[in-house]
Structure 1
Amino acid sequence: MSPDNEVIERSIREPAVFESLYSRHATSVYRYAAQRLGDHAAEDVMAETFLVAFERRSAYDVTVQNARPWLLGIATRLMRKHVRLEATAWKGVSADLAAQIVPDFIEQAGARIDAQRLARRLKKALRRLSKADRDTLLLYAWGDLDYASIALAMQVPIGTVRSRLNRARRHLRRAAGIPANEQEKDHGRVDTAPQHT
């Protein structure tokens, strides 16, 4: 099986081989879009993502073997067109999102706060994030991309990804009621930057 970059490069001469890229990544793109927008809009985003990818395949950086970050980046930009639908979708997924982003918090907070109140606070906090920070966070949480892949998807340096995720996590921690004096440990690093309220 050829890596994605070879398939894309070959598809410029033989367009039909692009279908194998669809077969490999359609489910992943659909799942990511469905988590953000719901099933109905996800179909449209997935189809449009592959249409855009096919049209722009000659501009693909063939030094990058895995096309998944590129495809999720396209999907993320397309989903910005669906902002109104996304706002509605937050209602249905906020509890799930709370469990994914701050996995231990609901268990720890069970005695202090009910889950419905937490979900409302996190939903509000997510809406207050900048689009770039929210997209970066969701590519990490729902797109299951690592920092380098998010940098590729968002077309930004990896340091920007780290900054955006750090800012988003701090914002969500505040919304979740996690004390500001707790240090965030991530990939062996300790964030000792002062917390601003």
Structure 2
Amino acid sequence: MNRTRLFSVSVLILGLQGCAGTAQPQKFVSVSPSQKFEGGYINITAPNSDGWQLVQSPTGMSFGKAGPASNESFGAQVLGFKLAATNTPQEFEALIIKSAEKDADPSRFDVQQMSFKYSTERSYPCIRYRSVVQDNAPQGLKGPLLLESDGLYCRHPVRQETGFAIIFSHRGETLYETLRSEAESFIQGVQVPGK
């Protein structure tokens, strides 16, 4: 995997109060709940609630919005990356875990919970990912804050030298009660065309 920074991707979610370390200013565009973005590689549906904004990058799409509390934000991302070949589900899972561990920044994030599990929910290889970390230096917010992420990392079924990550997260002073159901809605709204 090409320095994919899977863990960093999942914890450096865009919030409306600050982007995660980009050199150029990002342009946010408001999106409608469940707005569709279709393409040849992947089809993406925006989160199904009000207030989301979109920023596109060469590696994917990121949605962000402020939460009801002043120190709270939500993120939803779909990112593509190069992916080395693997022969078994175990090798694929190990590749994702190795990349996540390699790119974790222990000076910023204290991992409280993290899990990876191979999933057969789609017709191509995927890994379910969940984490709760303490973000000691949140961009644009007063910390430390809890950052909880729920995601799915998959090998693309057609362009198998690539993969994509679907990640939904919440950053705030407390855990977000409905994270799991909102994350699942977003994850299911991202599909490979025809698969």
Higher RCO (C-alpha under 8 Å, 6+ residues apart): 2
More strand by share: 2
Tell me the TM-score normalised to structure 2 length: 0.25
More helix by share: 1
Q: Which has the larger radius of gyration?
A: 1
